[in-house]
Chain A
């Protein structure tokens, strides 16, 4: 049972909060990175649609390479330390079978998360990525645990 309040995040949102709190989202080919600082009980989650910002439009956190550094920065500004932050990553499914060969959005989204986290020297302690199913996740900041359920195809429309 989740203690405290909870929030739902959409594509392009970042939420960082302190225990007790829960953050949830639905993912298709999108990826969510959950960061957790065990010593301080600070946790954060993002939800991005595409791997790279292409220099056009706003530097929106719907792009992985914008969203992940922003999430890390928000964690740090809350007092978390790189040394004690650990990461869990979810999503990146191949939602559209026919487009997988050319687009591979899900795969690129996963790759970008791994690359950037590696660069910041943040360990990925758990992941459930790829595949063909959407996911519903709920990040319980009090325990630092993520609850995950696979979704039916119709639900995935919401998660993209």
Chain B
């Protein structure tokens, strides 16, 4: 176990604090329909939790959470979730990004829009979180 800092206080505090920050990020993301929050803010908080571990316990030890190789792949998957939802609506006969035409049986149009907003916010969260982690890893230069 080789860590970036010699101080055990920083390491223990960061290990205790990072899950709490990520839990707040998930709360902000899922509470975005009923209060201030949403995909961007939740993604930034999730990235802050990962970056705190990157800075405190070292680059190699924090690869377990989000590996650096996979960040760009996850970022493109997030963007594809967003664009794919709009494309499915286009193929089902509506306009691009018109969620009322998504093929979900047995729901009225307003409720389909409610769940479609939640679904594309998942893509936004993945894209923003992994893009920020990827930029930090690139700036670190390893």
A, B assembled together = no
- A residues near B, CB below 8 A? none
- B residues near A, CB below 8 A? none
